[in-house]
Amino acid sequence: MDPFLTSRIVTDVLGGLTNGVIFGMVALSLVLIWRSTGVLNFAQGAMPMFATYVGFALLSYHFGYWACVVACVIVGLLIGGLTERLLVRGLYGKPEINPIVVMVGFLIVLEAVAAAIWSSFPRSLPTPFSFKDWQLAGKPLALSPFTVYEIVTALIVMTAVAVLFRFTKLGLQLRASAVAPEVSRLLGVRVGRLLTLGWMLSTVVGVITTILVASNLFQGLTPTVMDGIFAYGFIAAAIGGLESPVGAIVAGVLLGIINQFVTDYVNQNAVIIIALVLLIVSLMIRPSGVFTKRSERRV
């Protein structure tokens, strides 16, 4: 067989892709909320974490994996919608720091409540997919049924979001109410309802990401499972530009691949330092993200 596919470079690219799609999804969910409501959602990791705990509590009643996934998504929709209605609604138009602080508070509360109810001991989320890498000529290819499931799921979610925004009337309204809420309101769009919908959508993207992360082989679901990943997702979103879903995904995937190469060729400690340098350099060149269309500041 072709030794190229099991070479160090391909292995790193594939490994990086697996992490990268996760970063991309987190970045995408952040962008969805930022674009529609101008809120930097620090609880973007914690809200789905909570939903996943609730959904997978069903596992102990011997419901199957897919039933639990559906339950998680429904709980995610509820949490996303309720958060927007009850917590965030009053904060639109306030200084930038207000929603940030509220969401930080929400993050702290959710993690504490999850640990109080389910303890911080890791829980296993079994999936129907094998974790064993496929072998080529006796050497492992950096892909397993589980990683393929991970990547494919991420691609489906990303495509679905893109289709929704580009090709549906709902998507058009979502975009319109984000860009010009007053005009949209005049045109009969129910902006309030759409904002809620934006949060629900973003939380569902987050729930799917959390399930993928927590079903990973060597770790389970813990209240802090998304903390590290959230940081990378946020960095990716800032590099790509908070206005651009495509930028978020591309930056996330690239960040994942670069991380893998740095881990392999430099060392683990350098990973986040390189990410910081990348972020600073890219922001020096494009202060509003690489993929954001250059626009004059409103005066």
Partner 1 sequence: MKRDWTRRRAPLALAVAVVVSVVAVVAVVSATTTREGVALSIAIDLAIACVTTLSQPDLKSSHPVVSRAALTLLGLDVAIFITFFLNSSTNFNLATGAAMSIVLLGLSFLTGASGQISLGNGAFMGVGAFAMAIWSNHHATTPIFLTLLIAVGCGALVGLLLGLPATRLRGPYLAGMTLAFAVAFTFILSSFSSWTGGDSGLQLPTEASAPRWLDGFFHAGTSPLTTTTLYITDVAIIVAGVAFFFMANLFASRTGRAMRLIRDNDVAAELVGISLPRARVVAFIVSSAYAALGGALLTLINNSVSPATYSFALSVTILSLIVIGGIGTISGAVIGGIIYAFSTNVISWITTQTGLNPQGNFASQLNGIIFGGLLILTMLFAPLGISGAVRHLWSRVRARTQG
Partner 2 sequence: MVKSKTRRVTITGTALLLCLGLVTAGTSIVGAGAATKKVPGVTAHQITIGATEPVTGIASSGYNQVAKAANAVFKYVNKRGGIYGRTIKYVIKDDCYGTPGFGCTGVPNTATQTHALLGIPVFATVASLGTPTQDSVRALLKGDGVPQLYVASGSQDWNNAHQYPGLFGWQPSYNEESKIFAKYLTATYPNGSVCFLGQGDDFGTDGLAGLIAGGITPTAESLYSVDALVASNGASIAPYIQQFQSDKCTIVVLDSIPGATDAALGAALQLSYSPQWVISSVGSDPQTVDAPFVGKVPTDPEIGAISFSYLPTTTTSSPWIPWIYKVIEADPADFPGFTSTSVLNGNIAYGAAVGVAFVEALKANGKNLTRASFLKTLQSVTFSQTPSLVPLRYTASDHQGLNGGYITTVTSDSAMKPLTGTVYTTDSSTTGPVTVAKTLSSGIPAWLK
Residue 209 as a binder of partner 2 (CB under 8 A): the answer is no
Which one of the spans 29-37, 91-99, 120-128, 282-290 is the region binding partner 2 (CB under 8 A)? 120-128
Which one of the spans 17-25, 138-146, 248-256, 263-271 is the region binding partner 1 (CB under 8 A)? 263-271
What's the closest the beta carbon of residue 152 comes to partner 2, in angstroms?
18
- Alpha carbon distances (Å) from 247 to 25, 201, 252: 11, 18, 8
- Asked whether the beta carbons of 66 and 127 are under 8 A apart, the reply is no
Element (H, E) at 76: helix 65-82
Residue 100 as a binder of partner 1 (CB under 8 A): the answer is yes
Residue 120 as a binder of partner 2 (CB under 8 A): the answer is yes
Which one of the spans 123-131, 178-186, 193-201, 276-284 is the region binding partner 1 (CB under 8 A)? 276-284
Residue 273 as a binder of partner 1 (CB under 8 A): the answer is yes
Please state the φ and ψ torsions of residue 85, each to the nearest 5 degrees: -65, -45
Indicate the residue among 15 and 247 with the shorter CB distance to partner 2.
Answer: 15
- Asked whether the beta carbons of 162 and 175 are under 8 A apart, the reply is no
Residue 160 as a binder of partner 1 (CB under 8 A): the answer is no
What's the closest the beta carbon of residue 154 comes to partner 2, in angstroms?
16
- Asked whether the beta carbons of 277 and 288 are under 8 A apart, the reply is no
- Asked whether the beta carbons of 44 and 242 are under 8 A apart, the reply is no
- With CB cut-offs between 5 and 8 Å by kind, which of partner 1, partner 2, none does residue 264 bind? partner 2
Residue 85 as a binder of partner 1 (CB under 8 A): the answer is no
Count residues near partner 1 (CB under 8 A).
Answer: 48
The interface with partner 2 within residues 237-276 (CB under 8 A) comprises 263-264, 268-269, 271-272
Dihedral Cα 132, 137, 142, 148, nearest 10 deg: -60
Q: Copy the structure tokens of residue 173.
A: 């309204």
Residue whose pair of structure tokens reads 């109810």 in the numeric block: 117
CA distance 49 to 109: 12
Candidates 101, 88, 46, 79; CA nearest to 195 is 88
How many C-beta atoms lie closer than 10 Å to residue 144's C-beta?
18
Q: Provide the binding-site residues for partner 2, judged by CB under 8 A.
A: 11, 15, 19, 107-108, 111-112, 115, 119-127, 131-133, 135, 140, 144, 213, 215-220, 222, 224-225, 228-229, 231, 263-264, 268-269, 271-272
Q: Provide the binding-site residues for partner 1, judged by CB under 8 A.
A: 34, 40, 87, 90-91, 94-98, 100-102, 104-113, 115-117, 119, 231, 234-235, 237-238, 242, 269-273, 275-276, 279-280, 283-284, 287-289, 299
